[in-house]
Structure 1
Amino acid sequence: MSIAYLKLDSDFDVNSIASGTLFTGSTNAGQIVLARKYDGNLEAGILKLQYEVSGQSPCYVGGLNVKDFSGCFVAVGTVTDGTNTLSYTYDMTTKNMNGRTLSGLSSVLNVDMANEANFKIFETYYGRADYSYHWVTSAFEGTSTNFTRGNADFTNYSLIGKTEAIKKGSVHMGVGHYALHEFENALKLCELDVDSRELSRARWDEGVALYTGSMEGTEGTDRQGKFPYTLAEKRCENFKTCGDGADSSDDNVKSWVNINLMAQFRRGKSALFQKDCDGAQAALDNISSLIYIPLIQSTLRYAYMAQLLQGDNSDQNEQDKVKAEGAVFAAAVLPKVYAIDPDAAEIIYANMKTGATETVFSEVKDAFESVYHGFRINCNQIGGLIEASSDTPYDGAERCRANTGLTNESKEEFKIEGFKKKMTCSELANISLQYRNVICVTPGVAETCRGTCLGTCGCYDDPNQEYLNKQETEIVGTCEDLFTDFKYAEKCNKIENLLFFCPDVCDGWCDHIPFGKK
């Protein structure tokens, strides 16, 4: 974000103007420029104004190779906030500074995020607090990292490989983690004795902004951004997890991940407004699970592509790009895997690390699936890597069948104040997402129906999925056949493989959510 340093002609006290106050001025061509007062290292006689990100007239300066001054303030002029009109001088070629930068978001992690749960997982794995900054700078310099685990050797990386390591590392090891920090920071403010509601909500909003970015547009369907939101949109097309039911690959439909993350963002902000710190923490717990889904999908995608490319005559640049992307996406999720199961993390790292001589997709897939329970996610949310031309999964890349998410809660009951009748979690899961989210912010509901409010639980079984008899010698029916059998619970207890083939029917989720009505 570009910040203009305007030297005022008078001794006006800039501290008398609130941070964020909107100012208007003009360009050399007479076009209106919008900017807001920026606080930080205040200097006497200097008014710092941050150009509006959404402005139509760009002021692209600083270290950019191609600069655009057409949207900058005129060199000598006036700006006004509607009350004060201030004369100034301004050198647009030298008096523009960056506010937040990708480097800054990565290098301050160790200072701002100490003792935060998400950060500690990564610091423990990598053995240093500046893991994101160190990854990116090592890629820039073409050297090896100095981590306790998960090292990367960029010595022989091509320019294309380094580019991917730098770009993806900056975003998914830096920006994404700083977004989580902003949510954590909002909770710290919530827990203070002073009334800090406004500031805590501002920090929460900053987390949402960092997750989404400014290039995605106002509707969130452009898929033009560079930040984590857009990755979730792209991966839902690849894994057929778009839409409310996580069952579409339509690029006009939002990803299941973002639909549910936005609901959690709203839930958390509402809780902060009410000084409900526990409610905000519950929202953050869900965010901390959902945010990893696109990273897991990305690691799986590039693991599959890397194995396909090995040994053929594919373009070397394409091979470098695929392997580099696989390595950096794995690096962004490995610490969380390690916290659940170190052995699974080692399997994924061995297959995806920089310079890996071989990548075996099935090993990576199996290792991830073994820890889904620890992420509090399931196979349905990850989906299967599909072939775009046929909209069907690649061989060996199908969605896993076992619902390895949270333990069953379908029969758990809760009661909303003012209502006479209790409701079960499976009944709640059958309510449209819009109204379900309203109910989930009611005190006590999210604690009782944690998986339902997260979106993990539901009737996701394939009705045509066949299952075997107890001896596993012959096919005896489908999940839909099982559902229509009033003794299905008894069968599920007797035939162990039913919990694998038809887990949601056995757990009772299909009692209230018919197949295909997710």
Structure 2
Amino acid sequence: MMRTSVFALSALSLATAESTLSLRRRLSFEKVAGYAPGSQVTDHCAIDRDQAEIETLLAKKTNEAFSSAKAVYNNGGNSKSYARVTLTPALVGPLAKGARITGKSTDGIEIAGKAYNSYDAGAKEIWVQYATTDIQASYVACQVGSLVESINTEGCFAAEGDFDISGTQYAYTYNIASDNKNGRTIAGFSTEAGQKMRLDCPGCPYTDFTYFYNYYGADDYADEWVNAALDGGSTTFKNGNADFSKYGFDGRVEAVKKGTAYLNIFMYVIREFEDALDDCKRGCMDCNDDPVHAWDEGVCFYTGSIEGKDGLTPDGKLLHQLADKRCADFKTCGLESGELDGTANLNYELFDLFSLGKFQLQTGNCPAARKTTKLVTELMYIPMIQGTLRYAYKVGVLNEGEKAEAEGAAFAAAVLPRIHAANQDAAKTIYENMKVGASNTDHMAVKRAFESVYANLGITCADVGGLWNTATSSYYDGYEPCTDASTGGVIKEEDTTLAVIFGATFGGLFGLALLALCFKRNKEKRGQPVFSPTMYEEEDKPTELH
């Protein structure tokens, strides 16, 4: 269900405006599931390769495999790769972060890199980050870290050789297997959350992170959940605790792989969008590359690299794929929703908003970008709700076992803090029925609890849909879509705010926008999105290392 008045510009006016912006931005970045980033984020998108490696290892269901999965979770292998090397002689002068460094592979192929940090004269150990490309399939050719199943050393620096650092030659040595590290990890999304989302940012504390901090009583709640599931231990939260000693490998696998994606990565997606707002310079056409880059990172962490340019693969590992999976269960796929396969209606909505938000940031329309971010964040909870409902039914009615119980507990953990902020009694009901080791699951009580807070969450019954029974081609009894209190659909103030992005730079675009508004309203009344998620291409921005 497309929301009324989300967009202020039609495809025509946005394309015209972006052609003006493109006079000083290049249009060569590879699309991410249809979204055209304005900066290079191939390395960021690759975080889903760590998720894939973790899932491959967990599937072996052995203590050794769990230990290996924990190492990948903590140390990574695919994102922000760097070599830790020892120089001979030591640096003769200071080295700035980002300074170009070149060396060669074992096969003599030149490899480009850059200084990971700034270093003083006399430093002997430095970290050299591998340069990344704009093409996802070849973004970097050195993936080691703690990987087990997918190590790639083809593009790593040779074990010894010479670096060219600012025109000076330095001999170096390092161990290819143990000294190729990674600066971006799934664990880091949680262990650094307190500083980046609550304590040390211009917009701190971020609203949604505060929900989770207040509920769980810990900044690193996601990391605690994942480690407890990996170790078969218990969490020590203020609310929402889980004792994974009650599970064998089947339950712990689900708790880990859903925890990494839907607790760690989910919140960091929101963090990147909030970070973009923190950096936004109102009314400035030429100073918003940083917020666009942060916004692009958020889209990457939502989507990942496995989804490809069009986002149609069924093999994705992150939130984009979750939305597509859940829409098939709740009959919310397709441009107009109501379908049982294909792209989730939610993803059509989100990718329209992603493109709109990027444009608002580029043009310095910071207030409009903030409203767009709020809409994005509200929508992102929908698959978590759908997942919890699905497994409440599987456990409560179909009597499925540990695997389903763990999946339900993990989905609930990913949304309970938001429910708790809306209604503590509703959150308690959901937790008591879905928690690890629950003695009973009243699926209808869970459904009613969720439905009681939809309006507060900014979503509707139609957004969530109903649990579909493919065997009978009907909804499961009692799990049909609910009906909102106002069937007319209350339009919130933020949903009606139009992003006015005009001025001298755009000249005659004002008239186009008015025409576009009429066009857009007619389209959306028929339930059709104004923008497809494959329409835009954009700019350049040096990689900022988040």
- How far did residue 188 of structure 1 move? 1.2
For residues 152-188 of structure 1, the C-alpha deviation after alignment (integer angstroms, 9 at most, x for no partner) is 1223221221222122112211111011111111111
* Contact in 2 for aligned 1:33/1:57 (Cα 8 Å): no
How many residues get paired? 426
The one-letter amino acid paired with 1:287 is V
Residue in 2 that maps onto 1:200? 291
Amino acid at match of 2:248: S
Describe the shift of the 1:323–1:55 C-alpha distance in structure 2 as closer, same or farther (beyond 3 A).
same
Name whichever of 143-152 and 276-285 sits farther off.
143-152
1:274 match: 363
Matched, 1:151 2:241: yes
Matches within 5 A, 1:7-18: 7=86, 11=91, 15=95, 18=98
* TM-score (normalizing by structure 2): 0.69
Return the index of the structure with the highest Cα Rg: 1
CA drift at 1:70: 4.1
CA spacing shift, 1:302–1:133, aligned 2, 3 Å: same
Asked if residue 171 in structure 1 is aligned to residue 261 in structure 2, the reply is yes
Residue identity in the other structure for 2:312: T
Per the TM alignment, residue 48 of structure 1 is displaced from its structure 2 partner at its CA by 1.1
**What runs of 5+ residues in structure 2 fail to find an aligned partner?**
1-78, 199-204, 501-509, 535-546
Give the letter aligned to residue 239 of structure 1. Answer: F
Cα 1:87/1:212, change in 2 over 3 Å? farther
- Tell me, in whole angstroms, the C-alpha distance in 1 between the residues paired with 2:407 and 2:324: 17
> What is the distance in 1 between the residues matched to 2:406 and 2:434?
9
> Match for residue 118 of structure 1?
208
1:39 to 100, 104, 116: 116
The answer for the alignment partner of 2:145 in structure 1 is: 62
Tell me, yes or no, if the aligned pair for 2:352 and 2:532 is still in contact at 8 Å: no
Percent identical: 36
Shift of 1:33: 7.8
- Pair 1:183–1:361, CA change in 2 (3 A): same
Instruction: Name the amino acid aligned to 2:128.
Output: K
Q: Aligned-pair distance for 1:101?
A: 0.9
Q: Deviations over 1:354-381 (max 9, x none)?
A: 1111112111111111111111111212
Q: Residue in 1 aligned with 2:37?
A: none
Shift of residue 24 of structure 1? 8.2
Please provide the CA RMSD for this pair. 3.7
CA shift for structure 1 position 196? 5.0
Give the drift of 1:15.
Answer: 4.0
Q: Which amino acid aligns with 1:61?
A: V
Please, which of 82, 94, 97 is the counterpart of residue 3 of structure 1?
82
Would you say the 8 A contact 1:233–1:254 is kept in 2? yes
Q: 1:355 aligns with which of 437, 444, 455?
A: 437
Match status 1:385 vs 2:467: yes
Distance apart, 1:106 and its partner CA: 0.8
* Partner of residue 74, structure 1: 158
Instruction: Report if aligned partners of 1:14, 1:47 keep a CA contact under 8 Å in 2.
Output: no
Q: For 1:188 and 1:414, locate their aligned partners in 2 and report how far apart those are by CA, in whole Å.
A: 21
Specify every segment of 5 or more residues in structure 1 that has no aligned partner in the other structure, as ranges. 439-518
Q: Is the 8 A contact 2:82 2:130 kept in 1?
A: yes
Do the aligned partners of residues 60 and 423 (structure 1) sit closer, same or farther apart at CA in structure 2, a change above 3 Å counting? closer
Question: CA 1:229–1:80 in structure 2 vs 1: closer, same or farther (change >3 Å)?
Answer: farther
Q: 1:166 to 1:399 in 2, by over 3 A?
A: same
Matched, 1:429 2:524: yes
Report 1:298-317 matches (<5 A). 298-310=387-399
User: Structure 1: which amino acid aligns with 2:257?
Assistant: K
Hey, what's the Cα distance between the residues in 2 that align with 1:435 and 1:388?
31
Change (3 A) 1:218 1:25: farther
Instruction: State the partner residue of 2:182.
Output: 98
Structure-2 change in CA distance of 1:134 and 1:414 (3 Å): closer
Instruction: Specify whether residues 235 and 215 from structure 1 end up closer, same or farther in structure 2 by C-alpha distance, changes over 3 A only.
Output: same
Matches of 2:499 and 2:369, distance apart in 1: 21
In structure 1, what residue type is equivalent to 2:353?
Answer: Q
**What's the counterpart of residue 48 of structure 1?**
128
1:280-329 Cα deviation digits (max 9, x unpaired): 1011111111100111111111111112343xxx6xxxx11110110011
| Candidates 232, 251, 254, aligned match of 1:142 | 232
Please list, as runs of the form range in 1=range in 2, the aligned pairs for 1:405-416 lying within 5 A after superposition: 407-408=490-491
Displacement of 1:69:
4.5
Distance 2:255 2:409 in 1: 8
Who is 2:340 aligned against? 249
- Partner Cα separation in structure 1 for residue 193 and residue 497 of structure 2: 41
Aligned match of 2:323: 232
The letter for the 2-side match of 1:171 is: A
| Preserved CA contact (<8 Å) 2:385 2:415 | yes
Asked whether the equivalents of residues 25 and 80 of structure 1 are also in contact (C-alpha less than 8 Å), the reply is no
Write the distance in 2 (CA, Å) between the matches of 1:192 and 1:55: 36
- Assess, with a 3 A threshold, how the Cα gap between structure 1 residues 67 and 273 changes in structure 2: closer, same or farther: closer
Supply the distance in 2 between the matched residues of 1:91 and 1:413 (Cα, whole angstroms).
56
Shift of 1:68: 2.9
Change (3 A) 1:102 1:408: closer
Report the Cα offset of residue 7 of structure 1: 4.8
Task: Answer whether contact 1:8 1:87 (CA < 8 A) is retained.
Answer: yes
Measured at CA, do residues 102 and 270 of structure 1 come closer, stay the same or move farther in structure 2, by a change above 3 Å? same
CA distance in 2, matches of 1:83, 1:217: 38
Matched, 1:345 2:427: yes
Query: Matched residues in 2 for 1:309 and 1:433: separation?
Result: 37
Whole-Å separation in 1 of the counterparts to 2:334 and 2:111: 37
2-side partners of 1:293 and 1:59: how far apart? 37
Rounded to whole Å, the distance in 2 between the matches of 1:415 and 1:292 is: 24
How many Å apart are 1:8 and its aligned residue? Answer: 5.5
In the alignment, the residues of structure 2 paired with residue 33 and residue 161 of structure 1 have an alpha-carbon distance, to the nearest angstrom, of 47
Partner of 1:461: none
- Deviation at residue 390 of structure 1 after TM alignment: 5.2
Q: CA deviation at 1:144?
A: 2.5
One-letter amino acid of the structure 2 residue matched with residue 257 of structure 1? L
1:336, CA displacement in angstroms?
Answer: 0.7
Deviations 1:447-500 (A, max 9, x none): xxxxxxxxxxxxxxxxxxxxxxxxxxxxxxxxxxxxxxxxxxxxxxxxxxxxxx
Distance 1:84 1:288, change over 3 A: farther
Instruction: Tell me the equivalent position of 2:18.
Output: none
The answer on whether the counterparts of 2:229 and 2:255 sit within 8 Å (CA) in structure 1 is yes
- The structure showing larger relative contact order (alpha-carbon pairs under 8 Å, at least 6 residues apart) is 2
Tell me how far apart the structure 2 counterparts of residues 219 and 13 of structure 1 sit (CA, whole Å).
Answer: 47
Equivalent residue letter for 1:4: A
Give yes or no for contact 1:4–1:51 (8 Å, CA) kept in 2. Answer: no
Q: Which residue of the partner structure matches residue 414 of structure 2?
A: 332
Q: How far apart, in 2, do the equivalents of 1:356 and 1:396 lie?
A: 21
Q: Residues 410-431 of structure 1, C-alpha deviation per residue, up to 9 Å, x if partnerless?
A: 9x89898437888598546237
CA distance in 2, matches of 1:139, 1:268: 36
Letter in 2 for 1:217: G
The TM-score normalised by the length of structure 1 is: 0.72
- Residue identity in the other structure for 1:168: K
For residues 71-128 of structure 1, the C-alpha deviation after alignment (integer angstroms, 9 at most, x for no partner) is 2333345678999998754421121112111111111111111111111111111122
Alpha-carbon distance change, 16 to 112 in structure 1, aligned in 2, over 3 angstroms: closer
